[in-house]
Amino acid sequence: MSQSAFIKFVEGSTVSSMTLDELQDHLAKYRDQLALTGQQLGWEYDAAGFPYTVESKPEGEGKWFYLKGKDASYKHIVLGVGSETQGELVRNYVQAVLPDDSTFGDKSKANEFCKHLGKQFKAELHLFNGRVMYFNPRK
């Protein structure tokens, strides 16, 4: 059974919604940060920290894309955007899905990406195990 994690944009978040292109831009910035860290350490840290290529399929156009693993330890992670309605309030979110054949490496990388994005957006992160991490100011 597939598992999902949600990055929900709440009151106090730096953004209120996100498109797939913006999400891909943030993943590119994340990879660039890893490359800079690798330069300081003197090795290819971006290849180890982001072992995926960004792929898309026609049926997911505008809704989702996936990260395809570059080696056997990683298969794929699906990322998408959406919204949910709670009463009159509409909350937008980013969803990370681990398909049935995902590896433990995929789960750890997806947790890492979600935590990074949650901190960056000051959002509410609902992890794969059901726990919630609050990065938004709550006063």
- Residue ranges making up the domain that contains 113: 3-19+51-134
Q: What is the DSSP letter of 13?
A: -
- pTM of the entire structure? 0.88
Mean pLDDT of the chain: 91
Per the structure block, which two tokens stand in for 36? 């800079």
The mean pLDDT value for 98-110 works out to 93
Instruction: Answer whether residue 63 is part of any domain.
Output: yes
What is the number of structural domains in the chain? 1
pLDDT at 77: 94
Give the model confidence (pLDDT) of 28-57 as tens digits.
999 999 999 989 988 888 888 889 999 988
Closest by Cα among 13, 7, 49 to 29:
49
The mean pLDDT value for 59-68 works out to 88
Alpha-carbon gap, residue 84 to 23, rounded angstroms: 18
The CATH number for 107's domain is 3.30.310.120
pLDDT at 139: 66
